[in-house]
Amino acid sequence: MSNIPSELKYTKSHEWVRIEGDGTATVGISDHAQTLLGDMVFVELPEPGAALEAGEECAVVESVKAASDVYTPLSGKVVAANELLEDAPETVNTDAYNDGWLFRIRLEDEAELKELLDAEAYAELVAEEDH
Amino acid sequence: MPFIPHTEGDTRAMLATCGVDSLEDLFDEIPPELRANALDGIPAGCDELAVSQLLHARAAQNAQPLCFSGAGAYEHHIPAAVWEITSRGEYYSAYTPYQAEASQGTLQLLYEFQTMVAELTAMAVANASLYDGATALAEAVLMAVRANRKSKSRRILMPRTVHPRYRDVVETIVRHQGIELTRLDYDTAGGHIDPTSLPTEPGDVTALVIPQPNFFGALEDADTLTDWAHAHGALVIGVVNPTAMAVINPPGEWGGAGADIVCGEGQPLGIPLASGGPYFGFMCCKQKIVRQMPGRIIGATVDLEGKRGYVLTLQAREQHIRRSKATSNICTNQGLMTTAATIYMAVMGSAGLENVARQCHANTRALIKQLSAIDGVETVFDRPTFHETVLRLPRPVNGVLEELAGHGILGGVDLARDYPELGHALLVCATETRSEADLDAYAVALREVLA
Amino acid sequence: MNNEPLIFEHSRPGRINRAQSAHLGGDLDDIPDTLRRQRRPGLPEVSELDAVRHYTRLSQKNFSIDTHFYPLGSCTMKYNPRACNTLASLPGFLGQHPLSAVRDSQGILACLWDLQEMLKAVTGMCAVSLTPMAGAQGEFAGVAMIRAYHDARGDDARTEILVPDAAHGTNPATATMCGYSVREIPTDAQGDVDVVALKAAVGPHTAGIMLTNPSTLGVFERRIHEIARIVHQAGGLLYYDGANLNAILGKVKPGDMGFDVIHINLHKTFSTPHGGGGPGSGPVGVSERLHPFIPIPLVGRDDNSAFRWLDEHDLPQSIGRLSAHMGNTGILLRAYVYALMLGREGMVRIADYATLNANYLMARLRAAGFDMALPERRATHEFILTLKHQAKEPGVTAMDFAKRLLDYGFHAPTTYFPLIIPECLLIEPTETESKEALDAFVEAMVAIQAEAEKDVETLKGAPYSLPVRRLDDVQAARELDLRWQANGGMAS
């Protein structure tokens, strides 16, 4: 059973979002996603300063057997990328929701938040996929 | 039925196991209207003896003149050990080392190959080879576009001193990816890219290609060109001859920071001329952009017991995983050719390769000296060259080469089609395989032809 | 088996192989110091015997067709006749410079011409270019021709290539290289292309479809005529991936199935060596309407029946060149020798016996209790076994079976391809294996199944008898070590 913290928002493509309350949001991939991908060997992150549109491919998480695109759930400018992952990509496996975050973005359009799934809806999605 | 071991009894028993009466029944899912008629146009099968006789006759039809042509394919001596070992069935009839534990021979050899190529070019890392020098350059261009994330122009500066056929191949392969190939002209006195002719404000450039030596055999001012490119945010793609690397400043040491991507034709490293192939392309790069490199890459690791072993690595870049987002559609290297090249480099060593390079250079100089003493024959460029040079003849090269062929001499490559502005220009080279007597024979023949 | 050190670890400073270059050398005084190399490259310094012994020992760590049954699906690991190598290596062929005069090259040109004609005959296409250097380059040439065709007609709305979800990864990667987006078409439960989904997907944006037939699932695409009609009616073209041509050689011609362009993997169907991963060779064949775009050079024939190269002057609309010269000529020669030995009867026999061996092996494995991915279907030259039940209980995967097979002296089948079949082994025995070899493989599979039921850990730890145990590819990818260095440590 995967770990789905209730305070976070989620997407159908298995990203999580934490609203930081200072006009920014942090994005990572869910515990379910990291389990599917397996041992992470490389993470490619967006460059700070890059302007992204919701739904755009902006990062790649790579294991030995798969490489998966990460889509930004929100539009805005990237304010930080998790440099720790350059040398320790396995952090995405060990701590997907905290130290394994991917990037932080400055929100442009609060309305986009309504499109995100809450923990309950995401848990349902994951349960369906397991069938 | 060559190479099919089944006895009639085997076939009957196997059909029974399959629950069918005849071989034809096994094709019952093919719609009948698609079934082909007999293979008209294919001759009846032959025994090995008959095929051998035909092929010997065909091989004999190929004349074997004394070769003074280079232009990217060079006749070098190949130590007997190279193909004796390469032709072993364990190398010849193995496949891509996907099952690493059953392929440690090929994998360790390729790891050694990567090391040797990186040493030759003074670069950080190399891949396990690409198809040939021309496609390696095309892949290098695509790689530069991926690796230079700051550049948005997808603009590549492609000098005319790069092999014309390489430029053709690059054009074919990158055409559909929105990449602009900007032609750079050469200095007509030196036969090289004059760094002072480069624009001071070139705009956004993704990469500059630097051939060393260039197609004319001339040595580019690679240090200055590299620094210029880096000063303008462009990456540097070196295209180098591996024999030259034994004596010429390698791309890893060009300018202040070295070339970023290096590629070239590996044929001089133990691969026969063979009418143009199979050869292999090599590719190297700086460590920080290795994930943008296409092709197979071998890495060292450990097994369950901590023992050293080798595997294909960084496979997530490749088409079988990444599909439409792969770095390239490439899914092979030139395995057998890299096997030969690895053994060639091991058998020759650095000292041996340097001796070969020096002898080639000396032979070409001696040849140029003899030929340019003939009335009406002169060298075209004044830059230093390595083991290949352009001469100008007093009349069209085409006819001269035909007459030389009558003397049993392949006298070089006619540049009229690719470089008409050079007049009656001929590209010649003499490798270590040409003796003094060979050089004399060429000079005597040319003197006679031009008389 | 002992650990064989790297060649660099055999190296001793100052050891020179004098047999090769002791009498060579010369001045470089006309090359200024700034252009000269300052420090020698670190190639190994070994004796010739050191090198011969080292590379012979390494060779002994490989599985190969010459030493093992190698049922690697989709790769066609059949016997590579020695005659092909010997005859392609005649000095008259090996010594030929690629820019030799045409009149000095009639021998090689005649061979290439014959091969072009034979490939036209077996594929039913109107012209063949031998220049692509591998299957993937043949694919590139094919899709580039499709693009050139649409472009020449000013039809620039066609931006999409259709690819079945079971396709080899090169198909979508190739479409991308040609500037197309890729749309995947699902496969139905019987392994055929989902025609309803295909109908919904085609339109004025469709440039073409890339199909392998028999498909990568090891079955014949039965509705190929209907697929061809749907795509052609939408204005798209059909690309035939010839990876599995060996299964239908002399039985069906791709030209008759309605394909506009095809590539052939000579290293599969025509048994040229795999060489530890190349060189391949991927000639392309075209229908009449794509003929103007075919890649150069080709071999043509003059009125006086002399052979010559056809280039951009003969084919001004060609997509262009794919190699500096004529592709992998020496591989083409090997395929030519093979084709001559087989002849027209032999080619049909390839399809017959490759198919017999696959169906026999499938029948025996099924009788032994293994599950087939498509049990209702006839196998072509290969078939797919799925271990999804074993993966749940007792918990051994396709990878575990594959690694354990190595201990039994068999190269593993292809694992985890096609991606749409869980825990799969794609098994291709080829026509050159005997009944005894196939029977021995069945016995090994049965024995491994028994081991799995008894003790899962036996399989998880495999292989045991090879030069190395199971290798850590996660470490290889995380801590990249791509070259040896004298002082250890990472390259910078």
* Residues A121-130, mean pLDDT to the nearest whole number: 86
Residue of chain B whose Cα is closest to the Cα of A43:
B291
How sure is the predictor about B41, in pLDDT bands with cuts at 50, 70 and 90? confident
C105 and C232 belong to one structural domain: yes
Neighbours of B394 (CB within 10 A): 13
In tens, the pLDDT along C45-70 reads 999 999 999 999 999 999 999 999 99
**Range of the structural domain that residue A82 is part of:** 9-109
> So what's the pLDDT on residue B322?
77
Name chain C contacts of B41, Cβ cutoff 8 Å.
117-118, 120-121
C287 and C397 belong to one structural domain: no
How many alpha carbons fall within 13 Å on the CB side of residue C166? 28
Q: Which of B149, B291, B316 sits opposite A66 (nearest CB)?
A: B316
Touching A (3+ Cβ pairs <8 A), the chains are B, C
> So what's the pLDDT on residue C489?
45
Which has the closest alpha carbon to A50: A81, A16, A92, A84?
A: A81
Contacts of B309 (CB under 8 A, 6+ apart): B100, B101, B104, B107, B300, B301, B302, B303, C467, C468, C471
**Buried/exposed code over C251-276 (b: 16+ C-beta within 10 A; e: otherwise):** bbbbbbbbbbbbbbbbbbbbbbbbbb
C271 and C234 belong to one structural domain: yes
User: Token pair of C208, please?
Assistant: 């073409």
| Residue from C16, C24, C53, C365 whose CB has the most chain B CBs within 10 Å, to mutate | C24
* Residues C352-368, mean pLDDT to the nearest whole number: 98
In tens, the pLDDT along C74-99 reads 999 999 999 999 999 999 999 999 99
Distance set, CA A57 to CA A45, A54, A74, C235, C363 (Å): 10, 9, 11, 32, 46
Touching C (3+ Cβ pairs <8 A), the chains are A, B
Which CATH number belongs to the domain containing residue C455 in this structure? 3.90.1150.10
Q: Measure the CA–CA gap between C163 and C175, rounded to whole angstroms.
A: 9
C172 preceded by cis ω (within 30°)? no
Confirm whether A2 is domain-assigned: no
Q: What angle do CA B166, B170, B172 make, to 5 degrees?
A: 115
Confirm whether A83 is domain-assigned: yes
Residue of chain A whose Cα is closest to the Cα of B326:
A67
Q: Which of B97, B323, B402 sits opposite C169 (nearest CB)?
A: B323
> Are the C-beta atoms of residues C214 and C220 closer than 8 Å to each other?
yes
C359 and C302 belong to one structural domain: no
C370 and C442 belong to one structural domain: yes
How sure is the predictor about B330, in pLDDT bands with cuts at 50, 70 and 90? confident
What domain count does chain A have? 1
- Beta carbons of C474 and A42 less than 8 Å apart: no
Percentage above 70 pLDDT, chain B:
100
**C-alpha distance from A64 to closest chain B C-alpha (Å):** 6
C48 and C183 belong to one structural domain: no
Q: Measure the CA–CA gap between B29 and B9, rounded to whole angstroms.
A: 26
Name chain A contacts of C473, Cβ cutoff 8 Å.
64
Residue of chain C whose Cα is closest to the Cα of A88:
C478
> So what's the pLDDT on residue C491?
42
- Beta carbons of B321 and A67 less than 8 Å apart: yes
C194 and C96 belong to one structural domain: yes
How sure is the predictor about B321, in pLDDT bands with cuts at 50, 70 and 90? confident
What domain count does chain C have? 3
Q: Measure the CA–CA gap between C399 and C414, rounded to whole angstroms.
A: 10
Which CATH number belongs to the domain containing residue A105 in this structure? 2.40.50.100
**Buried/exposed code over C461-491 (b: 16+ C-beta within 10 A; e: otherwise):** ebbeebbbbbbbbbbbbbebbbbbeeeeeeb
> Are the C-beta atoms of residues C132 and C328 closer than 8 Å to each other?
no
Which CATH number belongs to the domain containing residue C185 in this structure? 3.40.640.10
What's the mean pLDDT when you consider all of chain C?
Answer: 95
- Beta carbons of B58 and C67 less than 8 Å apart: no
Q: Measure the CA–CA gap between B425 and C23, rounded to whole angstroms.
A: 33
- More confidently predicted of B426 and A114: B426
> So what's the pLDDT on residue A130?
65
C168 and C219 belong to one structural domain: yes
Q: Is the pLDDT of residue C1 over 70?
A: no
Do the strands C414-415 and B409-410 form a parallel or antiparallel pair, or are they unpaired? unpaired
Confirm whether A123 is domain-assigned: no
Residue of chain C whose Cα is closest to the Cα of B31:
C222
Name chain B contacts of A66, Cβ cutoff 8 Å.
316, 321
DSSP state of B21: S
Confirm whether C484 is domain-assigned: no
**Range of the structural domain that residue C51 is part of:** 7-59
C47 and C137 belong to one structural domain: no
Confirm whether C104 is domain-assigned: yes
> So what's the pLDDT on residue C2?
56
Burial class from Cβ neighbours inside 10 Å (0-12, 13-18, 19+) for residue A54 reads middle
* Residues B356-370, mean pLDDT to the nearest whole number: 98
Confirm whether A124 is domain-assigned: no
Neighbours of A69 (CB within 10 A): 14
Q: Which of A47, A63, A67 sits opposite B322 (nearest CB)?
A: A67
Q: Is the pLDDT of residue C490 over 80?
A: no
Confirm whether C455 is domain-assigned: yes
C95 and C39 belong to one structural domain: no
C315 and C178 belong to one structural domain: yes
Confirm whether A78 is domain-assigned: yes
In tens, the pLDDT along C220-274 reads 999 999 999 999 999 999 999 999 999 999 999 999 888 999 999 999 999 999 9
C335 and C201 belong to one structural domain: yes
Name chain B contacts of C347, Cβ cutoff 8 Å.
39, 42
**C-alpha distance from C474 to closest chain A C-alpha (Å):** 6
- Beta carbons of B316 and A69 less than 8 Å apart: no
Confirm whether C492 is domain-assigned: no
**C-alpha distance from A43 to closest chain B C-alpha (Å):** 11
Confirm whether A131 is domain-assigned: no
User: DSSP assignment of B106-168, as one string?
Assistant: HHHHHHHHHHHHHHHHT-SEE-S-BS-HHHHHHHHHHHHHHH-TT--S-EEEEETTS-HHHHH
Name chain C contacts of A39, Cβ cutoff 8 Å.
474
Q: Is the pLDDT of residue C492 over 50?
A: no
Note whether B80 contacts C: Cβ–Cβ < 8 A.
no
**What SS3 state is found at A79?**
strand
Find residue B66's DSSP bridge partners: B409
Q: Measure the CA–CA gap between C396 and C387, rounded to whole angstroms.
A: 8
**What SS3 state is found at C334?**
helix
Name chain B contacts of A44, Cβ cutoff 8 Å.
291
In tens, the pLDDT along C178-219 reads 999 999 999 999 999 999 999 999 999 999 999 999 999 999
| Residue from A57, A64, A71, A78 whose CB has the most chain B CBs within 10 Å, to mutate | A64
Confirm whether C181 is domain-assigned: yes
Confirm whether C345 is domain-assigned: no
- Beta carbons of C482 and B101 less than 8 Å apart: no
Which residues 5-34 of chain B have a CB within 8 Å of chain C?
5-6, 10-11, 13-15, 17-20, 23, 26-31, 33-34
In tens, the pLDDT along B64-112 reads 899 999 999 999 999 999 999 999 999 999 999 989 999 999 999 999 9
**C-alpha distance from B322 to closest chain A C-alpha (Å):** 6
**C-alpha distance from B137 to closest chain C C-alpha (Å):** 11
Name chain B contacts of A65, Cβ cutoff 8 Å.
316, 321
In tens, the pLDDT along B365-420 reads 999 999 999 999 999 999 999 999 999 999 999 999 999 999 999 999 999 999 99
Contacts of A98 (CB under 8 A, 6+ apart): none
Residue of chain C whose Cα is closest to the Cα of B4:
C432
How many alpha carbons fall within 13 Å on the CB side of residue C65? 28
In tens, the pLDDT along B133-188 reads 999 999 999 999 999 989 999 999 999 999 999 999 999 999 999 999 999 999 99
Note whether A66 contacts C: Cβ–Cβ < 8 A.
no
- Beta carbons of B102 and C63 less than 8 Å apart: yes
Note whether B73 contacts C: Cβ–Cβ < 8 A.
yes
Contacts of B218 (CB under 8 A, 6+ apart): B161, B190, B191, B192, B381, B383, B384, B385
What's the mean pLDDT when you consider all of chain B?
Answer: 96
Q: Measure the CA–CA gap between C427 and C363, rounded to whole angstroms.
A: 13
User: Token pair of B368, please?
Assistant: 């140029």
Q: Which residue has the tokens 């031009």?
A: B450
Confirm whether A38 is domain-assigned: yes
Confirm whether C148 is domain-assigned: yes
CA A113 to chain centre: 14
Which has the closest alpha carbon to B446: B389, B359, B387, B373?
A: B373
Question: Domains of chain B by range and CATH?
Answer: 66-76+350-450 (3.90.1150.10), 80-343 (3.40.640.10)
* Residues A123-129, mean pLDDT to the nearest whole number: 87
In tens, the pLDDT along C291-321 reads 999 999 999 998 888 999 999 999 999 999 9
Residue C102: which region, alpha, beta or left (left: phi > 0; alpha: psi -120 to 50)? alpha
Q: Measure the CA–CA gap between B310 and B126, rounded to whole angstroms.
A: 15
In tens, the pLDDT along B140-152 reads 999 999 999 899 9
| Residue from C245, C325, C349 whose CB has the most chain B CBs within 10 Å, to mutate | C325
- Beta carbons of C474 and A89 less than 8 Å apart: no
* Residues A58-73, mean pLDDT to the nearest whole number: 89
Q: What share of chain A is helix, strand, coil (3-state, %, to 5)?
A: 25, 35, 40
